[in-house]
Structure 1
Amino acid sequence: MSEFLVAIGLVLAIEGTLYATMPGGLKAMMRQAIGMSDQALRIGGVVALAAGVLIVWLVRG
C-alpha cells in the first residue's frame, strides 16, 4: 500500500511541475485533445498504460 501511495505522490508531483512550469502549453494540449477522436485518445491511453506497466515491470523485476 505504501508503494501505491508513493506512486500517487510521484504522479501529483510530476503533474504539478508541468502545470507550474508551462501552463500555456498544457492549455494548448488540452485544446488539441478536445478536437481528437475518442479512438485516438483511447489508443494514446493504452500506449501510456503499456509503457508504464513495462517500466514498472523492468524496474521491479
Structure 2
Amino acid sequence: MQDLYVALALVLVIEGIMPFVSPEKWRVTVIMIAQQSDKVIRMIGLGAMLLGLLLVTLLRSGSAT
C-alpha cells in the first residue's frame, strides 16, 4: 500500500512541474487539449496508461536498470 501512496505523490509532483515552471504555456496546452474531441482525449489517456503500465512492468521485473 505504501508503494501506491508513493506513486500518487509522484504523480502530484510531476503534474505540478509544468504549471510551476511555465504557467502560460501550461494554460495554452490545457486550452488546446480541452478543444480536442472526446475520442482524441480518450486515446491520449489510453496511450498514457499503457505506457505507464509498460514502464511499471519493466521496472518491477528488473529489465530496466
Instruction: Tell whether the structures are fold-level matches, with TM greater than 0.5.
Output: yes
After TM superposition, what 4+ stretches of structure 1 lie above 2 angstroms from structure 2?
Answer: none
Segments of 5+ residues of structure 2 without an aligned counterpart are none
Deviation at 1:36, TM superposition (A): 0.4
For normalisation by structure 2, the TM-score amounts to 0.88
RMSD: 0.7
2:25 corresponds to which residue? 25
Segments of 5+ residues of structure 1 without an aligned counterpart are none
Judging by fraction of residues, say which structure has more helix.
1
For normalisation by structure 1, the TM-score amounts to 0.94
Q: Higher RCO, 1 or 2 (CA under 8 Å, sep at least 6)?
A: 1
1:42 corresponds to which residue? 42
Deviation at 1:2, TM superposition (A): 0.2
